[in-house]
Amino acid sequence: MAEDNILEVKNLQKHFNLSGDRVLKAVDGLNFTIKRGETFGLVGESGCGKSTTGRTIIRLYEATGGQVLFNGEDVQKMSGDARKKFYRDMQMVFQDPYASLNPRMTVGKIIAEGIEIHGLYSGNQKKERVNQLLRDVGLSEEHAGRFPHEFSGGQRQRIGIARALAIEPQFIIADEPISALDVSVQAQVVNLFKKLQKERGLTYLFIAHDLAMVKHISDRIGVMYLGKLVEVATSDKLNAKPLHPYTQSLLSAIPIPDPDIQKQRKRIIPQGEIPSPLNPPSGCPFRTRCPHAMPECAATMPPFKEVEPGHFAACHLL
């Protein structure tokens, strides 16, 4: 079933060289695959490397090591036409709908830019295409002549989605696309993502820190901690039977909006702080906050292994 995978990430690394010979290992050896038509959620707390992963996959950053295979081809070796084709097939939706749209361009221009660069449509066809995209994301044609500042946050995120869709990509990386929005608007945008996926057979890499929302939209979820994947499983499995102690504490830390349940819950909140990624702990990165840490955890990094079919975790307890 290997041909089912639209994206394969193999031992991906992204290290940043800082002043004074320090190296920030933002992403350190990730392995996962994304199947065509699914939504893969990537969660973790700030600084865990989830955004860097997304940006490295789409080559906003050059990888330090490892491979990203898109439709079986090595993304980092692409050049010329292959590279241009790659950027047509993979698009990104950014977190901040205020900062990611050019304030001096009209919405119509913003959406049409990709169409022009890739020479897909021109003249009236292009205009019709932009109008269609606006309707698809729940805006209307008259919005094409307006500027980004005339829109609310939720509407701007719709514009960002229309821009990503304009050149008919197969794969969209959404980096915290809803975290700047109000709760009721978040739900609107998530519903839009799901509707578009159904209509167009899109594949998503959905990056967010809100596990409840990620669980709602994703088929499978990867949990990151300090530059490493600690667990990958289907969304339901991850919720019902999290294997890694970090996933367990992440789940139990989410406050549930139901006072009765909240009172009865037994929570395992990890002690202390997330260590600095500049100076990560030896062995397992979570061991400094893990309630089950053993001497072995400090010595070696536990292997990322398939505990049950399709359920991977990196922990010495397993």
Partner 1 sequence: MGKPILEVNNLRVSFKMYAGEVQAVRGVSFTINKGEVLAIVGESGCGKSVTAQTIMRLIPSPPSYIKEGSSILFDGKHEISKMSERQMEQVRGAEMGMIFQDPMTSLNPTMTVGAQISEGIRKHQKLSKDAALKRAAELLTLVGMSNADERIHQYPHELSGGMRQRVMIALSLACNPKLLIADEPTTALDVTIQAQIIDLLRDIQQKTDTSIILITHDLGVVAEMAHKIIVMYAGKVVERGTLNDIFYNPRHPYTWGLLRSVPRLDSDRNNDLDSIPGTPPDLYAPPVGCAFAARCPYAMQICKEVDPEHFEVSADHSSACWLLHPDAPKVDMPVGVGRGSHG
Candidate list 211, 290, 313, 315; residue touching partner 1; CB under 8 A: 211
* Binding of residue 31 to partner 1 (CB under 8 A): no
Cβ proximity to partner 1: between 9 and 207 the closer is: 207
Candidate list 83, 89, 239, 318; residue touching partner 1; CB under 8 A: 239
Query: Dihedral sign, CA of 153, 41, 225, 244?
Result: positive
* Binding of residue 233 to partner 1 (CB under 8 A): no
Q: How far is Cα 60 from Cα 94, in angstroms, rounded to an integer? A: 13
* Binding of residue 237 to partner 1 (CB under 8 A): no
**258, exposed or middle or buried, with CB in 10 Å at 0-12, 13-18, 19+?**
exposed
Cβ proximity to partner 1: between 91 and 186 the closer is: 186
Binding mask 166-195 for partner 1 (x = CB under 8 A): ----------------xxxxxxx-xx--x-
Candidate list 37, 45, 76, 147; residue touching partner 1; CB under 8 A: 45
| Structural tokens at position 200 | 């167009």
Q: How far is Cα 167 from Cα 163, in angstroms, rounded to an integer? A: 8
* Binding of residue 18 to partner 1 (CB under 8 A): no
**Residue 66 CB coordination number (10 Å):** 18
DSSP 42-76: EE--TTSSHHHHHHHHTTSS--SEEEEEETTEEGG
Cβ proximity to partner 1: between 254 and 294 the closer is: 254
Q: In terms of Cα–Cα distance, which of 150, 145, 112, 152 is closest to 129?
A: 112
- Would you tell me which residues interact with partner 1 (CB under 8 A)? 45-46, 152, 154-155, 182-188, 190-191, 194, 209, 211-213, 215-217, 235-236, 239, 249-262, 267, 269-270, 273-274
